[in-house]
Amino acid sequence: MGYRGRFAPSPTGPLHLGNARTALLAWLDARAHGGALVYRVEDLDTPRVVAGSMAQQQQDLRWLGLDWDEGPDVGGPWGPYVQSARLDRYAAALETLRGRGRAFACTCTRKDLQKLASAPHAGEEGPAYPGTCRGRYTDGADARAQAGREPSWRFRVDAGLVEFTDRVLGRCPQDVLRDTGDVVVRRADGLYAYQLAVVVDDLAMGITDVIRAADLVSSTGRQVQLARALGGKPPQYGHVPLLNGPDGARLQKREPRHTLAGLRAAGADPRALVGWLAHSCGVSVRAAPASPADLVEDFELRRVRDAPDWRAFPFRE
């Protein structure tokens, strides 16, 4: 099968320039490979979803000169392309994991787990889950009966190193059991977790290459394990640097000078923006105005480096 890449934005507000740069790189990599690009809406975290955001994000990416071959607005054979319409797939995946002895019910509360937060090995996402409910209940009904509440469901991760070769970062060995422990795949309130949905969908949609921001690299080891536990082949990953604002601060969705929508409303030229975004990560030598299509011929993902030059940003006040 040929290259299949994807954009997978969460419709939780306007896209900022970092999201735009990641989307540009995903688009360029797909087009440089003559590949297909899928637009998937990751709207499972319902409390964070903002009405109208999906349409706004799509308009802004199109304004920038990006397009996609499959997605909620254009259809395609691998849909639906909105995660909230794919809950039956996540339920089936959880059943598969349970059938293989790879998922278990967990009744630990947030408070139980927070007590461990001062443990010496607590990682960036808090302490690793210590395995409290592994083997504790026979099934969900048993957990409910014993604990008197609805359980969450966790994926029982493998011990030892999982290693993948990232197209930008090179070899990435990760110890998932030590760093995060067993992964929540369905929350006690019934919401399926991002970690499960993203793996199920990348497999179901035949995604071969994932270009996404480097803040997700720490999730990749568990996603590789999940894909394998579901009997699938994980995609190749390329984690691209995050774009920071002045002084290294994170870009803000609330700051119009940081968002595509805000810059567009202020009359920015999308070609100038694309040229700057490509230059800021090493894709092009100069920041000359360009459309995404102009950059395809010379594109190489390995040129991407962590050198955003915010000071040269053409639209900064």
Q: Which residues bind ligand GLU (CB under 6 A)?
A: 8-10, 42, 198, 212, 216
Give yes or no for a contact between 38 and 83, defined as CB atoms under 8 angstroms apart: no
> What does each C-alpha distance from 85 to 43, 56, 71 come to in angstroms?
9, 20, 13
The pair of structure tokens assigned to 94 is: 């959880």
- Annotated catalytic residue within 111, 115, 233, 253: 253
Indicate if 253 belongs to the active site: yes
**Closer of 42 and 209 to ligand GLU (Cβ):** 42
**CA dihedral sign, ordered 68, 73, 74, 79:** positive
**Helices 17-32 & 270-280, crossing angle to 10 degrees?**
80
**Closer of 27 and 104 to ligand GLU (Cβ):** 27
State the minimum distance, in angstroms, from the CB of residue 202 to ligand GLU. 8
Q: What does DSSP assign to residue 96?
A: H
d(Cα 57, Cα 47) in Å, to the nearest integer?
A: 18
d(Cα 61, Cα 58) in Å, to the nearest integer?
A: 5
**Closer of 33 and 144 to ligand GLU (Cβ):** 33
**Closer of 10 and 208 to ligand GLU (Cβ):** 10
State the minimum distance, in angstroms, from the CB of residue 174 to ligand GLU. 16
**Closer of 14 and 275 to ligand GLU (Cβ):** 14
State the minimum distance, in angstroms, from the CB of residue 30 to ligand GLU. 14
> What does each C-alpha distance from 13 to 60, 61, 306 come to in angstroms?
12, 14, 25
State the minimum distance, in angstroms, from the CB of residue 193 to ligand GLU. 12
**Helices 270-280 & 53-64, crossing angle to 10 degrees?**
80
State the minimum distance, in angstroms, from the CB of residue 228 to ligand GLU. 17
Measured from the Cβ of residue 246, the count of other Cβ atoms closer than 10 Å reads 10
Query: Which residues are designated catalytic?
Result: 253
